[in-house]
Amino acid sequence: MVALLLLFLTIPAVFGKDVQCPEGFHHFKRTPTAKNNHTKDWCLGIFPADRLDERDRARSVCANNNATLSLPENQKESDFIAAFSTKHNISETHAADGQTSPRCAARVYKAMKENRDFNSSAVKGECNLNNRYFLFDNANTDPAFVFAKFSYPPPNQFGSFWSANEPKVYHFAACLAYSPQFNPTNATNPGYANTSYCVGRPIGKVDSEHDFASGQQEIKSVICGRHPL
């Protein structure tokens, strides 16, 4: 009887425990749905580093923080990213979760070769923006909020190179990026989504084959997400 009483008394303490995120992350409540893998608690953090327009470097920064690339799922999360950007004087866009699937990339290359437009918002099938145009490192965020922030649907940056006796090489910006911009105190900032070349900006001397990404904005921070502790 005493043991049962002690168990009963400890149950409220266990279930009443506050959700906690590790240092560098902020906790958000989410509405669980099939589109975010029924996630009700999520931790977001912004981490600075150089050359995060290189997708492998961005992934590594998140991995070093026991997290994965992530996205804001709603306006409250976007405003947190904006406030962080303002506080730390970050004006550049953030690396974010999402990379064009290999199957859809092949369709983009084919369209480029045939000098046709490829509009992921208009195309039908798996390569529609709201279907599986992007693949994600984690399944805990519904990307619909960010998808609605594109000024121009992806793919929206292109490049190509050719020379005598060599095949023509095509490039397009296949990695997702997100910028909530600076956020005034107690203000809501709409933010916008964009894409960047996953290989990053060329460093040092740029030859004519690899200068397609030289003009894109430098990315020095990445949005990472993880489950609470």
Q: Determine the residue type at 61.
A: V
Residue 30 lies in a domain: no
Domain that holds residue 82: 41-202+211-226
Report if residue 198 sits inside a domain.
Answer: yes
Domain count of the fold of the chain: 1
Q: Is residue 176 part of a domain?
A: yes
Domain annotation covers residue 20: no
DSSP-derived 3-state class of residue 131: coil
The least confident of 41-50, 62-71, 145-154, 199-208 is 199-208
Q: What is the model's pLDDT at position 188?
A: 57
The pLDDT tens digits of the residues spanning 65-124 come to 999 999 999 999 999 999 898 889 888 899 999 999 999 999 999 999 999 999 999 999
Burial class (CB in 10 A: 0-12, 13-18, 19+), 12: exposed
CATH number assigned to the domain comprising residue 173: 3.10.100.10
Look up the pTM and report it.
0.89
pLDDT of residue 182: 59
User: Is 156 inside any structural domain?
Assistant: yes
In a domain, 17, yes or no: no
- Enumerate the H helices of the chain as residue ranges: 2-15, 55-64, 75-87, 102-113, 144-147
Instruction: Judge whether residue 11 has pLDDT over 50.
Output: no
Does some domain include residue 164?
yes
pLDDT band at 189 (very low <50, low <70, confident <90, very high): low
Read off the pLDDT of residues 138-154 as tens digits, 9 standing for 90 and up. Answer: 999 999 999 999 999 99
